[in-house]
Amino acid sequence: MKKTIVVVGGGFAGIEFVKKMANNEHYQVILVDVNNYNFFPPLIYQVSTGFMEPSAISYPFRKILRKKKNVRFRLGELKSVVPEEQKIVLSNGELHYDILVMATGTESNFFGNKNIEQNSLPMKTISDALSLRNTILTRLDRATRFEEREERKKLLSFVIAGAGPTGVELSGILAEMRASIMRKDYPELSQEDLGDIFLIDGNDAVLAVMSKDAQQYSEKKLRQYGIEIKLNTLVKDFKDETVYLSDGTEIPSKNLIWAAGVKAKQFEGFNAECIGPGGRMKTNAYNLVEGYDNIYALGDCAIMFTDENYPKGHPQLAQPAIQQAKNLTENLSRDKDRWKPFKYKDKGSLAIIGRNKSVLDFPDQKHSMKGFFAWLIWIFVHIMGLVNFKNRVRTFFNWIGYYIFKDQSFRMIIKPSRRDKSKDA
């Protein structure tokens, strides 16, 4: 009989695992996800600023899996795991497994600050991106109705917490919008009305995981955009339309965008001993979760200490997740005595700052590339990272249009209408 593999999470690791296990006659695979679509997180900031439509970076799971004979999809939210019964409990039922693969990724980490959690704008999901897009466009329109410059500036000042790739890319694209699109679309607003963009980080450099050369170039270009950068500084609180920083600075703003940290999602049923730093599940060299013989963890939700080049665990990026998924599928297709331990092969790091401006670190971190050619590589890598050909073509033409005209047409405020609850069935 075929063994049943349940894969929870359809991100980089989950979808790669499922695609590699497709049509394997020894296994029946069930993919579980809270959404019915896969999406490409590195480009979510472009959806949030109206430079891309959500469908350009997302694709329905059922269409992806249409020709995979041994794969099924289950829409549902994981609530708990019952290892002794080899089952998982979902928001809409239960599933039994022979092998469980956890690929649940991460969620925003607000470090216990309830004000920030309730009032800030996170950047993790398509829903977050659409919410941010609606917020930006709504506040721009609202600012045209205020006479007081202080109120306008508070509406249109943006504080971005976290100067990693997401924070750098988002601050750069907001600066480009401020310099061109906002001035064209909102003639009622002067340049002074458009507010400031602040980039805040607790490290001593932007893009802390990249090389010194990449960090210095990125900071220089961001400052040229007019972005105010505060390093070695934390966001301590956000209340009363004010962002409070650890150095005592208070920034009047209605907009705190949170890109400052992530943590692995937590689920009931796992032994506390298998949970490591950042809530990630501790695994051996084969991605087997400590304390279990049939539960594996991949990608951002896993932490492995056996790779000699990464003794503190692998970075929470797309490539480690994809490579772990490939390694596990190959191992599951072999006899146990032929399994190979996972070794991460670094393929380098990329971040975009703005039009024609990007940074690329090669795998050895000793050599880097900056500017236009790094930007072309960034475009190629991200287009090829999209899940299907149609999305790649659509995204390519979107970017060509923006490059030529410095404009895009996806700046619509689209909010779901509220039904009268008394009429609900």
**Based on the domain organization, do 126 and 151 belong to the same domain?**
yes
C-alpha 56/C-alpha 313 separation (Å) is 32
C-alpha 126/C-alpha 264 separation (Å) is 18
**Based on the domain organization, do 122 and 90 belong to the same domain?**
no
**Based on the domain organization, do 245 and 282 belong to the same domain?**
no
The pLDDT of residue 422 is: 44
Question: What is the per-residue pLDDT across 342-359, written as a single tens digit (0 to 9) for each?
Answer: 999 999 999 999 888 999
The pLDDT of residue 365 is: 65
- Contact (CB, 8 A) for 280 and 301: yes
Task: Tell me if 346 is assigned to some domain.
Answer: no
C-alpha 242/C-alpha 247 separation (Å) is 14
The pLDDT of residue 424 is: 38
- Contact (CB, 8 A) for 31 and 5: no
- The whole-number average pLDDT for the span 262-283 is 96
**Based on the domain organization, do 142 and 39 belong to the same domain?**
no
Helix, strand, or coil here: 39? Answer: strand
Task: Tell me if 92 is assigned to some domain.
Answer: yes
Task: Tell me if 407 is assigned to some domain.
Answer: no
- The whole-number average pLDDT for the span 156-170 is 95
Question: What is the per-residue pLDDT across 28-45, written as a single tens digit (0 to 9) for each?
Answer: 999 999 999 999 999 999
Question: What is the per-residue pLDDT across 233-251, written as a single tens digit (0 to 9) for each?
Answer: 999 999 999 999 999 999 9
Residue where one domain finishes, among candidates 230, 260, 290: 260
**Based on the domain organization, do 282 and 325 belong to the same domain?**
yes
The pLDDT of residue 401 is: 78
**Based on the domain organization, do 165 and 232 belong to the same domain?**
yes
Task: Tell me if 376 is assigned to some domain.
Answer: no
Helix, strand, or coil here: 148? Answer: coil
Question: What is the per-residue pLDDT across 50-95, written as a single tens digit (0 to 9) for each?
Answer: 888 899 899 999 999 999 999 999 999 999 999 999 999 999 999 9
Residue where one domain finishes, among candidates 199, 227, 260: 260
The pLDDT of residue 115 is: 96
Residue where one domain finishes, among candidates 260, 295, 310: 260
**Based on the domain organization, do 256 and 179 belong to the same domain?**
yes
**Based on the domain organization, do 36 and 104 belong to the same domain?**
yes
Q: How far is CA 392 from CA 4, 69, 388, in A?
A: 33, 25, 7
Q: How far is CA 102 from CA 62, 206, 245, 283, in A?
A: 20, 32, 36, 11
pLDDT band at 154 (very low <50, low <70, confident <90, very high): very high
**Based on the domain organization, do 177 and 99 belong to the same domain?**
no
C-alpha 424/C-alpha 86 separation (Å) is 37
Task: Tell me if 364 is assigned to some domain.
Answer: no
Task: Tell me if 41 is assigned to some domain.
Answer: yes
Please report where in the chains the tokens 């917020």 appear, as a residue. 135
**Based on the domain organization, do 208 and 195 belong to the same domain?**
yes
Average pLDDT, the chain: 92
Task: Tell me if 388 is assigned to some domain.
Answer: no
Provide the percentage of residues in the chain whose pLDDT is more than 70.
97
CATH of the domain at 69: 3.50.50.100
The pLDDT of residue 425 is: 33
**Based on the domain organization, do 220 and 286 belong to the same domain?**
no
DSSP category for residue 2: P
Longest alpha-carbon distance in the chain: 74
Residue type, 323: Q
- Contact (CB, 8 A) for 85 and 79: no
Query: Which domain covers residue 192, as residue numbers?
Result: 114-260
C-alpha 424/C-alpha 419 separation (Å) is 8
* Model-wide pTM > 0.85: yes
**Based on the domain organization, do 135 and 41 belong to the same domain?**
no
Write phi, then psi, for 178 (nearest 5 degrees): -65, -35
The pLDDT of residue 417 is: 67
Give the DSSP H/E element, type plus range, for residue 61. helix 61-64
How many folded domains does the chain comprise? 2
Task: Tell me if 362 is assigned to some domain.
Answer: no
Question: What is the per-residue pLDDT across 369-391, written as a single tens digit (0 to 9) for each?
Answer: 999 999 999 989 988 888 788 88
What's the distance, Cα to Cα, between the start and end of the chain in Å? 42
